[in-house]
Structure 1
Amino acid sequence: MKRYAIGADIGGSHINCALVDLVKGCIVDTNRSERKIDNQASDNDILEGWENALNQIVIGLDPDCLSGIGFAMPGPFAYDKGVALFEKVAKFENLYGVNVQQELAARLELPVEVSLRFMNDASAFAVGEAWQGQAMGTAKSVSVTLGTGFGSAFVSDGVPVVEAEGVPEMGCVWHLPFMGGIADDYFSTRWFVARWAAISGEIITGVKDVADRAVAGQVEAKELFMEFGSNLGVFLGPWLRDFEAETLVIGGNVMGAWPLFGPAFKAELSSLKVETNVVSSGLKEDAAIIGCARMLDPAYWRHIEPVLSKM
């Protein structure tokens, strides 16, 4: 096995990438790159932005020590084929039908033995946490990210589970029915914005605006976070119990307000007799970079490859 791989986390407005030591399972901090990306740009401009960010690491790197590049990519995407399927998601739609794998390999002028591999971004986060993060050494874990969207993945022995008893369809929960809509409607930033507007008539830009009011003692803001935490417990609790998850790792920007909604969440899990250990991500954004880079480990690739077509 070649020692190094590049992990690239593709966000809605940026790309973060870094060189990962596959032996140690850690990021080489001297080799990082970040670039803002306009997700409404042309296919060429988006690919060029990703190419430029990756080239900052590729250039000057000995090709003989590079296994390849792993991508933590949002959906919809054909992860096994490297083809973008972005449609009706208000981002990267100009890439629809583009074979990103082939395009970037040609642009980066990489040797044929340097592979480009793709994994769902929430799954990559969960793999990183299971490999080197808060779920390390845990047989079964669930990882969720609370931010612009509601990311989630179920992991058993380090590999995402997408088909099994106790696991929802596609191995994630964002699309499942909850109250009057789906889970993503209730466990994302836009819920806070919409709910606060309904309560106060005030338009806010994000969760921090409400958190600041809660910290300042505003009762309505405090109650909003308690409502969020309780709802999250009601929704996630049965899945954690059925999957027999030992650890739940929570990441994402909303975790900055954990002291405000965490107690209500844990209280709800306790009432449901769910004994899963709940922890905050320590790797944070690096979890997805480390997780997707792990696909370049040949031993791990044998386990993860059959799963990619089902994500």
Structure 2
Amino acid sequence: MEKRFAIAMDVGGSHITSAIVDLSEMKVFEESLFKVSFDSNLPTAEVMDFWENAIRTLLEKSEVGKLSGIALAVPGPFDYDDGTCWIKDQDKYENFYGLNIKDLLRERFDFDLDFPIVFENDATSFGKGEVYKNMENLPKNVMAITLGTGLGACFIENGKIVSTGTTVPTNGEIWDLPYKNGIAEDAVSLRGLLSNYQNLTGIQANNGLELYILAINGDKKALEAFHLFGEDLAEIVLPWLKSFNANMLVIGGKIANAGDLFLNSFREKAKQSGIEIELILSTNNETTALLGAASLLYKA
């Protein structure tokens, strides 16, 4: 079978990470990994200079003659089918509002109109990337969540995103689900974790790292804050694991690095609910989103 290759890009507010992906085996060539930091609020042309340089650098470094497409993991709001950016008032890509990224790339390269340029949500790309890391995961029902400043989620069946139907929440999102006196993201995010500690002690920790250091040094209230975080996570996630008949739960995001501090309480809640689940903790997201975005170009 003829080898197929693509360029995948993970587009952040202050950086892009890009690499060549072997679409035949769904593998990222880590030696091709290229990262660059920049201010995404610069004028559009200047930002696109960084993007163009990243793509040309990859083409020059690699021995790939013909590309089968470019896949980008991009934060929302964004029209992922059309390629139009609708990011506004988020202190990133302020000059890209209403612009079509496909057109901007075609202005820089002599791509044919039928050359695939595809887009995927960044949180969704993470989830799909974790599935495609091991092709044995493709037949599974997978729920993936990202824990950080926000609460991201996606549901994957046979390698495809499921965002409609009765087995998943509206649009496949859980961040805005009603929970306690607010929404899920109020409890299961960095602010929720810090709020737990403040409620227990009356002290406002400066950031997640400070709280993590307190916990690993044995601070009982910090440990309890993480314990409560795991219980809240379980209360929010378990009903959807059951509804979706999930075989696997993938947890990523910066808070995943502290998994040892909150997963015991999560597992205990799962056990009490009679739910057995394969749990994957992803603490290396660098190439995962690239693989997930590139999965849009994968042909079994």
| C-alpha distance in 2 between matches for 1:139 and 1:91 | 35
Task: State the partner residue of 2:206.
Answer: 204
Q: Which runs of 5+ in 1 are unaligned?
A: 301-311
Q: What are the equivalent positions in structure 2 for 1:232-271 lying under 5 Å apart?
A: 232-271=233-272
Task: State the partner residue of 1:152.
Answer: 153
| C-alpha distance in 1 between matches for 2:114 and 2:61 | 18
The one-letter code matched in structure 1 to 2:28 is I
Give the total of aligned pairs: 298
Distance 1:215-1:268 versus aligned 2 partners, 3 A rule? same
Task: State the partner residue of 1:309.
Answer: none
Distance 1:63-1:216 versus aligned 2 partners, 3 A rule? closer
Distance 1:185-1:49 versus aligned 2 partners, 3 A rule? farther
Task: State the partner residue of 2:21.
Answer: 20
Give the SS at the match of 2:215.
Answer: helix
- Report how far residue 138 of structure 1 moved: 4.2
Q: 1:9 touches 1:73 (CA, 8 Å); kept in 2? A: yes
Q: 2:253 touches 2:283 (CA, 8 Å); kept in 1? A: no
Distance 1:117-1:183 versus aligned 2 partners, 3 A rule? same
Q: 2:196 touches 2:229 (CA, 8 Å); kept in 1? A: no
Distance 1:148-1:41 versus aligned 2 partners, 3 A rule? farther
Distance 1:26-1:133 versus aligned 2 partners, 3 A rule? same
| C-alpha distance in 2 between matches for 1:62 and 1:111 | 21
Distance 1:44-1:196 versus aligned 2 partners, 3 A rule? farther
| C-alpha distance in 2 between matches for 1:226 and 1:135 | 32
Give the SS at the match of 1:257.
Answer: helix
Give me the TM-score of the superposition, normalised by structure 2: 0.90
Task: State the partner residue of 1:115.
Answer: 116
- With 21-30 and 228-237 compared, the bigger mean Cα shift is at 21-30
- Report how far residue 63 of structure 1 moved: 6.8
- Report how far residue 14 of structure 1 moved: 1.6
Provide Cα deviations, 1:262-290, integer angstroms capped at 9, x if missing partner: 10111112222222221212763311101
Q: 2:73 touches 2:289 (CA, 8 Å); kept in 1? A: yes
The one-letter code matched in structure 1 to 2:243 is D
Distance 1:35-1:22 versus aligned 2 partners, 3 A rule? same
Distance 1:59-1:109 versus aligned 2 partners, 3 A rule? farther
Q: 1:2 touches 1:64 (CA, 8 Å); kept in 2? A: no
The one-letter code matched in structure 1 to 2:140 is A
Q: 1:133 touches 1:281 (CA, 8 Å); kept in 2? A: no
Q: 2:257 touches 2:283 (CA, 8 Å); kept in 1? A: no
Q: What are the equivalent positions in structure 2 for 1:286-301 lying under 5 Å apart?
A: 286-297=287-298, 299=299
- Report how far residue 64 of structure 1 moved: 4.3
Distance 1:3-1:275 versus aligned 2 partners, 3 A rule? same
Provide Cα deviations, 1:81-120, integer angstroms capped at 9, x if missing partner: 0000113434323311010111023224434453210011
Q: 1:211 touches 1:257 (CA, 8 Å); kept in 2? A: yes
- Report how far residue 53 of structure 1 moved: 2.3
Give the SS at the match of 2:176.
Answer: coil
| C-alpha distance in 2 between matches for 1:203 and 1:282 | 23
Give the SS at the match of 1:119.
Answer: strand
Give the SS at the match of 2:263.
Answer: helix
